[in-house]
Structure 1
Amino acid sequence: MANIQKRGNSYKITVSGGYDVNNKKIRYYMTYNPPEDLSPAKLKKELDKVAHEFEEKCNLGYVMDSNIKLIEFIEIWFKNYVGNKNLSPVTVRGYQNESLKIIEELGHIKMGQITPKHIQDFYAKIKGSTGVRGGEKFTVTPEYLATVASMKQKDISDKAGINDDALRRLKKGGNTTREIACKVADAIGKDFDTLFMSTNPQREVSNETVLHYHKLLNNIMNTAVKWGVIAFNPIEKRVELPKSDRKEPAYMDDKEALAFLELLEEEPIKYKLALNLLIFSGLRRGEIGGLKWSDIDFDDKIITVKRALKYIAGVGLFEGETKTFKSRRSIKLPDFVFDLFKAYKVWQLEERLKVGDRWQDHDFIFTRWNGEPMSLDTIGGYLKKFTDKHGLKPVHLHSLRHTNASILIASGVDLKTVSSRLGHSNLSTTGNIYAHVINSADAKASDALDHILVTKARKAQ
């Protein structure tokens, strides 16, 4: 049982760890500084909780002090923090990729010796480099095309452990990540630089990338404080961060969207449905990809979001959870969207009959030729060709979600309803993202009141 002693404004927690080889009693210690505003009952509950967690870690051999190196702490952090958080595989992979650079630069430093200057220098080094966060993409060389011309695509994909679609994209001039390119080069048995070339080798690192690293490091350090490894977080409020360079979300106004939809009328049914659906539903691209026919209520004209289609390099497409709990939602859509669903379903059944028993029935709406879920990059590529062909404003798939929200807000739909339809976890998220549209709508409201209620006499004053 852990022993708790008050020491001024803090508490010393002691746990007995048995005896060492010299029959000397082993004790583990940690200091806990509780929030100042806790009631006596809540303070006791919080102390008991912290002491219990510390005792469990002692018993499991996870007790650490400030002499542990950052690389060792990160390994334990992944096992005992990330592993218990039920995070999405995409988030975990992102943490893993970013932690590699952190370990490379800072992993050798002991936790208790990490200073704000260490972190500041690390951020400066990231900002001064290129392609740190894995943004570099690769395309194939003529040598690659000549080499694979005599090889079976399935043999390459099986040996590399990747999806056939990745190879098809490469043959058509598409891009891929370094990880997949390396796997393909190994499978073919030729030098990487002979088969692939970078499409953006001088890609400048954005402020957002630095902020991503900061968010991860801050999370790690806060956990270290909570576990009693260090007394305070050397990052929080102690390093200078760059300003976010996130751009205002691209979107179309109502006139641009109307012109877009009119031109879309002549497009193939698959793309006609997908792009209409993205504009009228405001769903995320992964949510569209994860839709199944069982999610469509043709009677009440409602679609239900239950999952999201996700992608990890080297793993491929897979069904995953929605971004947040509130992202699981039902949305009512206009009748004509369901007419498109019906027309598309007839077309899909005809395509299914063509491939016979090669069809993999997973009930997905948007599929490849064999029924497997379709990458939304396919729709994204079509969208670019469509806007280029008609000289429209360049937009991407997520722009259609912003278009949906912006038109709703500008039309006077209340923010809570918009937030619910978008599947945001809280109202403030919607307000922050669409502040520019809200301000514009507010200005129009002021002008309307001025036009209706302010008399000429008052305006003359």
Structure 2
Amino acid sequence: MASISKRPSKSGMTYRIQVKIKDKGSGEIKVHSTTWKPPVGLTPKQMEREVVIFASEYENAIKALETASGEPTQSAETTFSDYALWWLKRRKNEVAASYFVNCESAIELTNKHIGGYKLKELTPNIIQQYYDKLDRMEKTVTVVTAKPALRERMNQTGIGYMKLRYEKNFSSCSLSNALAGKQISYEYAKRLAETLGEKTENLFNVTHTTQKYAYETISKIKRTIRAILATAKKQRLIADNYASADYITFPKRPPRDIDYMDDEDAKKFYKAADEFPDIRYKTAMLTLLLTGMRRGELCGLEWSDIDFDNATITIARSLTAVRKVGLVLKDPKTESSKRVIAISDKLITVLTEYRAWYEEYREMHGDKWENSNRLFIGEYGGNIYPGTINMWMKRICQTAGLEERTVHSLRHTNITMQIAAGVPIVTVAGRAGHARTSTTTDIYSHFLKTADRSAAQKLEEIFG
């Protein structure tokens, strides 16, 4: 029980409230105290009554906040908002930075809708209604691209690319995108305009459109809620996980839209990359096309991953750009994504040529060189920004006379071409880094059906 003691002062009577809590784990006694000053106008009897009420509330609050570890105690009375933030804090050092940021965004959005409910108040109906709202929800997308006036203003002010990059600390990737007429963030455009002493709208086209959230984005939000309530169930704060499929109806996943090149376009792309004068573009694009690795895996490659004698590449890490964090080097997407794959003689030849260029480039930069051992590098040998690979991809597509494609389309192209060539699905899945062959068959089911039809036709030709 809280102890209460009077303390007369020049400004009137105050009360000191002290609460002692015994840590059940260590047996240590922790003392918490606070001061209560009665509102003006209370009689002595009213003061005595009010201070007892205040002391009781203070004691209950302290008990609710204390555990053996010193962390807030969670209970069925805890709001979803508070519990979700506690859960997120606990997960921070256990998960990848990208996963943490995605969960943070999911919780921020979810708390606006169901954050005020206590855990004990959550029902399948409440969660289902929120999920249904998520499925219909739209977001405002701001598209910002530079006007010709941007270059004109840079020329007028004498603040060119190099000054913006090195003196004003603008990132090279976004700056290059802006000057190439590609989309950049509104915040970046605003800062750039302010640096050039001009209004944002005078230098950039700014349009706002609304669109539905992508299915995968919504799925990540739902998975986050399910994970949070799974923890609450483990702690016996709730009877069951009402965000699970046992209680919730989920919409059917829409068919995957696989962006890939057909044989003709793939040959054009290969030729354009192989003949491109910049060895960096050539090597990166052919590595992606001929191995099917992910963009982040390409950016994470090191020279020690290339076995020139045995013609293999080890994929052991991924370098990605994470919102609010920056560049993050992490393990590949899944444990199966760590793999060693065989590469063609052609790719070995290209990598050998690239190594010779790399050594010369490193010598040229002398003491400025950052010895990262990365295969594909930024300025002075440091990490390459993944967005740079997008720019290289766009350039090769333009050279090949193809419409602009995503870097990931090269992965899809590689896998679909293996399937079409009759490569066993186990081998395809292994080279792709898929944890299960079912992942490969689910994503590329249409192409497997085509291969199956082709096999049937070949059998008919044999026996016909």
TM-score by length of 2: 0.75
Matched, 1:247 2:256: yes
In structure 1, the partner of 2:81 is: 71
Q: Please give the root-mean-square deviation of Cα atoms over the aligned residues, in Å.
A: 3.7
Measure how far apart 1:71 and its partner are. 1.0
Cα distance in 2 for residues equivalent to 1:362 and 1:446: 51
Give the match's secondary structure for 1:131.
strand
Matching of residues 417-436 of structure 1 within 5 Å? 417-436=427-446
Conservation of the 8 A alpha-carbon contact between 1:95 and 1:216: yes
Matching of residues 55-454 of structure 1 within 5 Å? 60-80=70-90, 82-83=91-92, 86-131=94-139, 136-139=142-145, 149=157, 163-177=171-185, 198-199=206-207, 201-237=209-245, 238-245=247-254, 247-268=256-277, 269-392=279-402, 394-453=404-463
Q: Match of 1:339, as an amino acid?
A: T
- Structure 2: which 5+ residue stretches go unaligned? 1-22, 32-54, 60-65
Conservation of the 8 A alpha-carbon contact between 2:97 and 2:328: no
Give the match's secondary structure for 1:331.
strand
Provide, for residues 391-435 of structure 1, a one-character-per-residue CA deviation record: whole Å limited to 9, x for no partner: 436532111111111121222222222111111222222221222
Conservation of the 8 A alpha-carbon contact between 1:179 and 1:313: no
Measure how far apart 1:286 and its partner are. 0.6
Measure how far apart 1:77 and its partner are. 0.6
Cα distance in 2 for residues equivalent to 1:321 and 1:302: 19
Measure how far apart 1:203 and its partner are. 3.3
- Relative distance call for 1:252 and 1:154 in structure 2 (3 A) is closer
Cα distance in 2 for residues equivalent to 1:239 and 1:196: 45
Measure how far apart 1:188 and its partner are. 8.5
- Relative distance call for 1:151 and 1:66 in structure 2 (3 A) is farther
Give identity over the alignment, percent: 29
Q: Match of 1:272, as an amino acid?
A: K
- Relative distance call for 1:350 and 1:442 in structure 2 (3 A) is same
- Relative distance call for 1:87 and 1:59 in structure 2 (3 A) is closer
Conservation of the 8 A alpha-carbon contact between 2:369 and 2:380: yes
Conservation of the 8 A alpha-carbon contact between 2:226 and 2:243: yes
How many correspondences in the alignment?
406
Conservation of the 8 A alpha-carbon contact between 2:142 and 2:206: yes
Measure how far apart 1:61 and its partner are. 4.8
- Relative distance call for 1:224 and 1:160 in structure 2 (3 A) is farther
Conservation of the 8 A alpha-carbon contact between 2:159 and 2:196: no
Conservation of the 8 A alpha-carbon contact between 1:160 and 1:184: no
In structure 2, the partner of 1:10 is: none
Cα distance in 1 for residues equivalent to 2:67 and 2:450: 53
Measure how far apart 1:255 and its partner are. 4.2
- Structure 1: which 5+ residue stretches go unaligned? 1-14, 27-55, 456-461
Q: Based on CA coordinates, which of the two structures has the bigger radius of gyration?
A: 2
Conservation of the 8 A alpha-carbon contact between 1:286 and 1:308: yes
Conservation of the 8 A alpha-carbon contact between 2:320 and 2:386: no
Q: Match of 2:259, as an amino acid?
A: A
TM-score by length of 1: 0.75
Measure how far apart 1:217 and its partner are. 1.4
